[in-house]
Amino acid sequence: MTSRIKLRTLVLCLLPATMLAQDVSSRLAAVEAAAKSAQSAGDNAWMLVSAALVLMMTGPGLALFYGGLVRRKNVLGTMMQSFILMAVVTVIWALVGYSLAFGGSGPFLGDLRFALLNNVGSAPNPDYAGTIPQQTFMVYQLMFAIITPALISGAFAERMKFSAMLLFMTLWSLVVYFPMAHMVWGKGGLLNAALGGTVPCFDFAGGTVVHITSGVSALVCALYLGKRLGYPATATKPHNLVISFIGACLLWVGWFGFNAGSALAASPLATSAFVATHFGAAAAALGWVAAEWLVTGKPSVLGGISGCVAGLVAITPASGFVKPFPALLIGLTAGVVCYGMVTVVKKRFGYDDALDAFGVHGAGGTLGALLTGVFATSQVNDNFKDSAGRTLPLGLVDGHPGQVLNQLAGCAIAWTLAIVGTLIILWVCDRLIGLRVRQEDEIEGLDYSMHGEEGYIFEQ
């Protein structure tokens, strides 16, 4: 009797303790799950906003920036070239683009595992971004694939057939952009510093992938298509710097999504990239304006906005690797160098890079990619570890001068791919469709000859 009572008391005493232990562990699991879901929610919110910001860079940002720089008769044709890529590249991306860039783990190109966006859903892809739905990552990267070819259109502005442009951009995405994006950002890509590349090249947000490929291809286009009729004797001055100004400022704001978003999380690294981006743009605007003021005697608005874009380009590869002061330095250098590119170098060689896509993106992108090798530091980005888990030194300032050579190799590959790929594609498009509009259409302007409209109608 007594032993039974004792046993019962014992059971009664122990019961709450086991229940308590179970309760603690299940509560802990619940807290962990809640924390994880909160992080996911935060990261996903930031990445969706970033994706929207990057799309805003193309339309209206780049469309306004470029649209204002051409003559009045070409404003719609120029804006349309940016706008239509928002649609065309989106479809290509859904069919094969995302998969070719981010499926598989080959050194040069992805595979077709994500073709038709198969298996790209709400589950994260831990290779790239473990806290956000893969669909968020996919749509964010899409916005980069849109703006990159749009940048090229500045070089052949005012003289390329719309149909030829569509074919060119489609082929260019397949031949140049997707391979380059895979090489630098895709798992196992040749230049991927984080996921097993043999030539680790630091490119945080697209110095090689976006700006070198587009800028160098732009130069090839300008040379292949030849100069606009009458260039440079006839005036081809910008018809509306006000809309260019609005466009450039939208680019500046959108670039926060481009660079800080490339952290792929709402993390301190995103903040650091945000700061570096802003500082780079500011210093470059000052650099360009100061250089121009010294040379021509007047600080121009076009100089200011061109400078900020040059700085944003140059800081792009470096943004997730450098501290604020090196960012200022990179921006300042880019402002002055790009000013020299579009004034001295362009005049010297006489190519008609109409809106300076090469002078700003090709030159600024190369400069930024190389300077990333100089100023990258593990104090900003400690995601790179050796096999023992120790943080690796990144750039020259960390005592790793070899990184500059890696960056040089990355630039060389991007330049080569852009030159060879673009030449072949241009040749194909020229054979199939013909690249340039008819002479009378060029004189009439693309707005009417290609689209049957005019940009400014102020009738009652």
Which of 6, 36, 113, 347 is the binder for another protein (CB under 8 A)?
347
Q: Does 158 bind another protein (CB under 8 A)?
A: no
Q: Which is nearer to another protein, 121 or 232 (CB)?
A: 232
Q: Does 296 bind another protein (CB under 8 A)?
A: yes
Q: Does 337 bind another protein (CB under 8 A)?
A: no
- Which one of the spans 47-55, 180-188, 233-241, 428-436 is the region binding another protein (CB under 8 A)? 233-241
Q: Does 303 bind another protein (CB under 8 A)?
A: yes
Q: Does 356 bind another protein (CB under 8 A)?
A: yes
CB atoms within 10 A of CB 198: 11
Q: Which is nearer to another protein, 338 or 374 (CB)?
A: 338
Q: How far is the CB of 372 from another protein (least distance, A)?
A: 26
CA distances in angstroms from 394 to 94, 209, 275, 288, 411, listed in the order given: 35, 20, 19, 29, 17
Q: How far is the CB of 154 from another protein (least distance, A)?
A: 12
Q: How far apart are CA 138 and CA 117, in angstroms?
A: 9
Q: Does 294 bind another protein (CB under 8 A)?
A: no
353: nearest Cα among 239, 215, 247, 206 = 215
Q: Does 300 bind another protein (CB under 8 A)?
A: yes
Site for another protein in 306-325 (CB under 8 A): 306
- Which one of the spans 60-68, 340-348, 381-389, 399-407 is the region binding another protein (CB under 8 A)? 340-348
Q: Does 7 bind another protein (CB under 8 A)?
A: no
Q: Does 299 bind another protein (CB under 8 A)?
A: no
* CA-based max dimension of the chain: 115
Dihedral over alpha carbons 231, 288, 372, 250 (to 10 degrees): -80
Amino acid symbol at 380: V
Q: How far is the CB of 237 from another protein (least distance, A)?
A: 5
- Residue 160 backbone dihedrals phi, psi, to 5 degrees: -100, 140
Q: Are 206 and 180 in contact (CB under 8 A)?
A: no
Q: How far is the CB of 215 from another protein (least distance, A)?
A: 15
Q: Is the peptide bond before 200 cis (omega within 30 degrees of 0)?
A: no
Q: How far is the CB of 280 from another protein (least distance, A)?
A: 20
Q: Are 204 and 273 in contact (CB under 8 A)?
A: yes
Q: How far apart are CA 443 and CA 86, in angstroms?
A: 28
Q: How far is the CB of 350 from another protein (least distance, A)?
A: 12
Q: Which is nearer to another protein, 142 or 341 (CB)?
A: 341
Which of 36, 113, 237, 385 is the binder for another protein (CB under 8 A)?
237
Q: How far is the CB of 134 from another protein (least distance, A)?
A: 42
Q: Are 248 and 309 in contact (CB under 8 A)?
A: yes
- Give the rounded distance of the alpha carbon of 280 from its chain centre: 15
Q: How far is the CB of 354 from another protein (least distance, A)?
A: 11
Q: How far apart are CA 445 and CA 221, in angstroms?
A: 19
Q: How far apart are CA 65 and CA 242, in angstroms?
A: 9
Residues that contact another protein, how many (by CB under 8 A) = 19
- Residues forming contacts to another protein in the complex (CB under 8 A) are 232, 235-238, 295-296, 298, 300, 302-303, 306, 339, 342-344, 346-347, 356
